[in-house]
Structure 1
Amino acid sequence: MFSRAFRVRSNTAIKGSDRRKLRADVAAAFPNLSADQLTEFIPNKEELNVIKIYSHKGEAVTVYTNNKNPILFEIERALYPTVYTLWLYPDLLPAFSTWPPVLQKLAGGADLMLPGVVVPSSGFPQVEQGTLCAVTLLGNRAPVAVGVATMSTAEMLAAGMKGKGFAVLHTYMDHLWEYGDKSYPPTLAPLVTGSAEKESTEDEEETEGTEPGSSSTDPLQHVDIGDLSLKEALVGKEELSENRAAETAQDASTEEAEDSRTPQEQMDALFNQCFFHALKCKVKKSELPLLTSTFLRSHMFSCCPAGQQLDIKKSSYKKFSKFLQCMQHQKILQVKELNKGVESIVEVDWKHPDVRAFAVPEGFASASSAQDSRSEEREQGYHAPEIIPLYGVSTKMIPLFQESGHKKGSILSSSEVRNIIINYVKANELVDETNKNFVKVNAILCDCLLDKSEQDEISSLKWDDLLSRCLERLQPLHQVTFYGQEPVVRKGNIEPIDITIAQRSSNKKVTIIKNLELYGLDPQCVANILQQKVQASATITPVPGTKDRVQVQIQGNQIHHLAKMLLEEYKLPRKYVQGLEKAPKLGRKK
């Protein structure tokens, strides 16, 4: 319901009489609250507001806030708690647990399907259809979503845990959560009795001497350090101490011998360990933007402990992009798709509690020495793409290329086109016997390469003219290969980075740079770097006439600085940068 931005209609303070009525309504809706909790929840003197909003679907919703934090929302006279409320009273609603990667789907507006619900060893809470429920993540009792059960517990089990389980109304990370102070979920351990803890410890000791096939795979029977590391990646509170991170690293080195987690949980924990290790010790701010593939291969792989190997397919994420999205939701980093299929890490929060709390495992160099060892690689964060012009066989050129086994749409390089033409000329004996620099034009060459006005006048062509005419009549394409990415073939010729100088009011000049995205460059990062170098204001504006293209605009004629950055630092070929000739001429000093 709040996955998209809503519109606020009014925001007013609650009067004393309305406050008492709200307290009575809350007591009726949530009888589990004690009198003291009810007074704490709806206080007598603290600031309470009622906000009337319209959701993106046009639904009228009433939101109640306490000190500007949403605590309740009301739809058709039914009250629902927000995640801020459930973090204070986690047992207010019956709770169902799901896997951490599911959170990003719920925050995007998806409902919770039953295959994504974790079945605990103690069984589900008994609920009926329409019961208001909370959703938690495995290993943390703090709710992250509020939803309504679409079927009873008995019906869920009878359906084989298939189908929609809960209609989700509100989640952590949605726009209602953003309306508050944007705090993170607290760390609340699952409710485990003393006897259950003792049995879990005994079972853990017994599994050391049993066969792998006989060990329990129930994720809730062993909520160990791997689950906690997943939780840490998702919450990010200062209370996550360095001791826990140190235990994570120590357990990772011996997990093969004594870890009772499933292989998927172990791989999730390994990915989290290598991720935080790479951020803390390998990546520097000067390397950003950093291709996600480079981050995985050159940074995370080098942080993997000896004898272990990262394999995203064996994790619960399945794709590295989904793992990074999960980290992005926790405000640890920011990933942008600079172009289709090209993602880069553009920002990292090195002050994030999870990054600061991580302790480097024994056997690895310290953070400072690891960073020093990469000092020579600072400028390798960006690699200029490899661009190869290609040609597609058009309908008009099919007769010329069908003898070599090609058809319409076949993609060829310039050298392949040249070889095909040479072989065609030799196979049909079209080389002029009197002057081998010329090729005789037969009927096929005439139809494919000559205009109608030329067909009666030209009987032979020079080799260079023949090849250039052929390339001109083929469909232009180009292949772009970004560092660490698969090649991408696109239609047309690649547009160069276009630099222009525009005149503004009061005879002021601005430099405008377009098409940076085509070369794997983030316009915002380029603007920030330029702003620091030239100490001038830089902004990002949409390119007129386009929907999803932007341009960098910076005060003054800054072409000299741009040329140095693009050609010398980023190593882009000169032919792909247009407008450098407009640099200001340097006058003589008097």
Structure 2
Amino acid sequence: MFAKPYKVKSNNSLKNSEKKHLIQRIVDEFPAATEESAKSLVPLKSSCVCMKLVVHSGEAVDVFVVDGVPLVLGARGRLLPTVCALWRLPALLPALTVQAPVLPKIQNGAPLYLPGVCVPAGGAGFPMFARGAPLAAVTSDNAAAAAVGLAALASGDMLLKLGGVCLDVLHWVGDQLCRDPKFGKLERPRLPPPAHPALAALAALAARPDPSERLAAEVQQLHIQHGGKEEWPSLGGRAAQPVPQMPQETQVTKVPQVPHAPRVLDDAPAPAQQDDSWMDGAECGTAGASAGGGGGGGAGGAVPTDMDELLQWTLVSFIKQHAKSIELPLRASLLYRNYLLPLCPADRTLDVKKTSYKKVGKFLEAMQKEGLLEVREVEKGVDAVVALSAAHPRVRAHPARRPRRPAPPAAPAAPADDDVEYTPPQVREMFAVTAAVADLFAPLKKGATLTAAEARAALTQYVQTRGLTSAHQKGAVTLDAVLARVLNGNEQESVRWDALMLGVQARMTPCTEMRFADGSCSLTRARLEPIKMQVVTRSGNKKVTLVSNLESFGFALGELARAWQRGAAAAAGVTRAPGARADQILLQGDQTYFVARLLVEKYGLPKKFVEGADKALKKKKGT
């Protein structure tokens, strides 16, 4: 993994909460790790940094550096200790002992092959592990870890096979990570050679006394008594009558009765007795809650009031109802939003932020420890539920019913959507008077708004009252001092009417006025971007029409989508593209002709506000 140089993408310090999360992950992922050993590896008062690297193969790796020493790697969806961490906690991972000459081959990037592993005779003391489990590699002359990797074979296969790759080495002493100057000089310590546990067990067994001598001494102390009552009567026979009390010297000590010992059946059938040790959780809510275990009130029929217990109650209800039908894996966010929240009764409010877990991920981790479900990281930073335990005692004792929400009050009869005609806002292009053109539109003050027609009429009146119409050129205007200053031209220069109008409008502030059906008016002192129509192809070679930037013109997208769905006889809805700032309407098929005709001809929107309107209106509907 670190055989070649890598790139550092980011370098962030961890907060105390993130350190605690890292400690908990170490305890969860490494069976040999305890909370004390994990805290000794990542102290809360230490300086902990998370380096995000990209190795030469393109794989992203997280390196957790504690006090300037890399100790933990985050790669391939799991944690791996570095050799520096194993020098501090040698028992954190199972270790394979390799021959000393094999280590230089590993440091050159070669995997570990089975012939290089020291396998004891008969497999005594060989560590037990599954395929894919993290392993450490030590040499026969030094017990300090020299490499870390993932097992390519299970321990049983290694004992049976004679060759092949047994360890996929990811990190070793002397790779690019260990030689990084920012970590200083990392040297492998010298530890005594590893000894197999079987040798220690044999030494302890040899120190014990001879078993035959101990057995002879115990037989001599054995005392057999006669005349006592029958300890194990025959099945089906009557219970033996109690014998008279013996003298104190020969009285046999009575063994206390075991609660679950087999009972002697009498010849006559005993009267039926009701066993109250179990109850149906669906019929007895309180009893089901007490039988659910220490998880609180989330396993019984009564809905708990505590927020933590209510969250557990909804999870157990979900497992009870959907354990056999749900499709797994199921993302944690979808589980909470689509399943747990709907299971909450209407008179209660469920909020994971108000629980002691604070986050859905921590809640699922706690439930995984109780055995209710199994959670895995399916993608980087994305947890999902991969297994549900329907046979858990809390699930079996939970009532198989769904809380009923009260029916909402009947709303007054409203007209059907088909009978309601959508009324769009009236959009007009306006121009605001600025200081540069204030003399042309006197007595209007700065900031007053005019339509294009009103601006043209005011300019025409100004030209006619001052006799500025050109006598030498038809359709031209002779500029006076005011017009020359507005157009940045020269006096007595002739300018055509259209150029004059465009030049004056360019010195004014463009505005957009929207009048709504309720009589309200909105003025935007800016030129709005036009409405865009786009035809794209989705899966299955199906075309859809996307209409965006409608909200800028005051359109209500929900009502407009329903109106377009009826008018185009095609599916329509409101959606938002990834990275977009506003919603858009999606219509099935190529509906550019329908949309352009509706916006321009029916809603009266100027063509300049609909991008591609001229081209769309030339099409025929359905083409």
**Structure-2-length-normalised TM-score:** 0.33
Instruction: Please identify the structure whose Cα radius of gyration is greater.
Output: 2
Which structure features the higher share of helix residues? 1
With CA pairs under 8 Å and 6+ residues apart, which has the higher RCO, 1 or 2? 1
**Structure-1-length-normalised TM-score:** 0.35
